Amino acid sequence: MDLSFTDEQQRFREYTREFLDNEVVAHRAEWDRAESVDTAVIPKLGEMGFFGLTIPEEYGGLGGDYITYCIGMEELGRADSAVRGIVSVSMGLVGKVILSHGTEEQKQQWLPRIATGEVLACFGLTEPDTGSDAGNLRTRAVREGNEYVLNGQKMFITNATWADLCLVFARTGGPGPKGVSAFLVPTSSSGFQAREIKGKLGLRGQATGEISLTDVRVPASARLGEEGQGFTIAMQSLDKGRVSVGAGCAGIILGCLETVVEYATQRHQFGRPLASFQLIQDMIADISVELDAARLLVYRAAGLIERGEPFGVAASKAKYFASEAAVRAANSAIQIFGGYGYIDEYPVQKYLRDARVMTLYEGTSQIQKLLIGRAETGVSAFL
Ligand code: FAD
């Protein structure tokens, strides 16, 4: 396993960090309080190439490799996970499945504008009554001549109220995963409505929403892949997405480590810096080891993707470990900051609130364990 970065990847990390420190880190507390990023940052992220990192140059992207993509996600996670989610859903979950499953016409229609951030996309899988059990989703798409008519509801959809395009998973066939198809639905379609869900614990800077589809008509050419292929498309997309979430979590742990080291060396109690106390070093050592472990799992999975090898279980391990480790790191970071860790003058409380959702979305920690357990035992815990 070669887990070293190339000079180009290192340079990418450096200039990405400089940009994010100026354009995101400087504003994240204010955006978190306002429950919205300043959306003017989205075109700036586009200019920096974030939305096109792994989209090939022929479709207007940078054509980068998956390791570079994970470096970008790690740096975005260190800066602000709310911003990372905006990028990773639009390009990572939606852009990449258009690339892998879209017709040439669909690629030409959407990818060049997703790659620049001009078009923001959202991923509509979860519904009010089906989350982990996404294969039993209820939104329906009925074929009428050369069109499909969509009716149903989606829940907790990142970018919902800002997006121009929604990848909607809907039932075209019988019950279960095999009856699901995927559709590229412009959010300007008549009958498409999105409502923002306010009051989230974390990721407050991004717009999470509820979507209702009432007799939304799309041409048959808006179907992505074949009828009945939708669930497979969703799972393939989430497998890669989990590596990206893991990378974002490594970024949270990195942010915690940098922040606590700086604080613990400056803050004095009992006439000595906090860093000199062994119980403080114990917590810092755990954060440091978990950062290494999270990165090793993430970049191993990214390497498997890059080499075209099976990566699903490695992705689940990376996502499960890194998200739980990010929660532990942020919790310890608050402990090291004492009372100051509990107020939003310092970023550690935000790291904890943001990290918490990473153990829930794109497959909860329990679901990741069931996927890992199935791979180990050969026995599925899913019906
Ligand atoms: P449930 O599935 O109801 O789970 C509740 C609990 O039961 C969990 O602890 C779960 O682990 C456990 N559980 C469920 N089944 C099993 C089982 N078989 N064995 C053991 N335990 C089990 N979805 C999208 O489609 N697109 C998005 O962009 C998106 N963004 C999101 C952003 C945010 C901020 C949030 C909070 C959610 C987002 N989601 C999105 C939805 C997210 O993926 C779901 O919340 C997640 O999959 C869990 O589904 P659920 O909330 O319905 O919980």
Q: What is the 3-state secondary structure (H, E, C) of 143-156?
A: EECCEEEEEEEEEE
Contact 273, 345 (CB under 8 A): no
Q: To 10 degrees, what angle do helices 312-337 and 230-266 make?
A: 30
Whether residue 362 lies in the annotated active site: yes
For atom 51 of ligand 1, the residue with the nearest CA is 131
Residue-level pLDDT at 382: 87
Instruction: Report the separation in Å between the CA atom of 127 and the middle of ligand 1, taken as the mean of its atom positions.
Output: 10
Residue-level pLDDT at 4: 86
The CB of 208 under 6 Å from ligand 1? The reply is: yes
The CB of 361 under 6 Å from ligand 1? The reply is: yes
Q: Which of 23, 210, 362, 376 is catalytic?
A: 362
The CB of 357 under 6 Å from ligand 1? The reply is: yes
Residue-level pLDDT at 131: 97
Query: If the chain, 383 residues long, is cut into consecutive pieces of 10 residues, what is the mean pLDDT of each piece?
Result: 86 96 97 97 96 96 95 98 97 95 98 97 98 97 98 98 98 97 98 97 98 98 98 95 98 98 98 98 98 97 95 98 98 98 96 98 97 97 84
Minimum-distance ligand 1 atom for the alpha carbon of 363? 47
Contact 187, 163 (CB under 8 A): yes
Minimum-distance ligand 1 atom for the alpha carbon of 130? 52
Q: Is the ipTM of this complex over 0.85?
A: yes
The CB of 296 under 6 Å from ligand 1? The reply is: no
For atom 53 of ligand 1, the residue with the nearest CA is 131
**Which residues make Cβ contacts (< 8 Å) with residue 199, sequence separation at least 6?**
none
Residue-level pLDDT at 1: 65
Strand locations in the chain (E): 121-124, 140-144, 147-158, 165-171, 180-186, 192-196, 208-219, 223-224, 268-269, 272-273
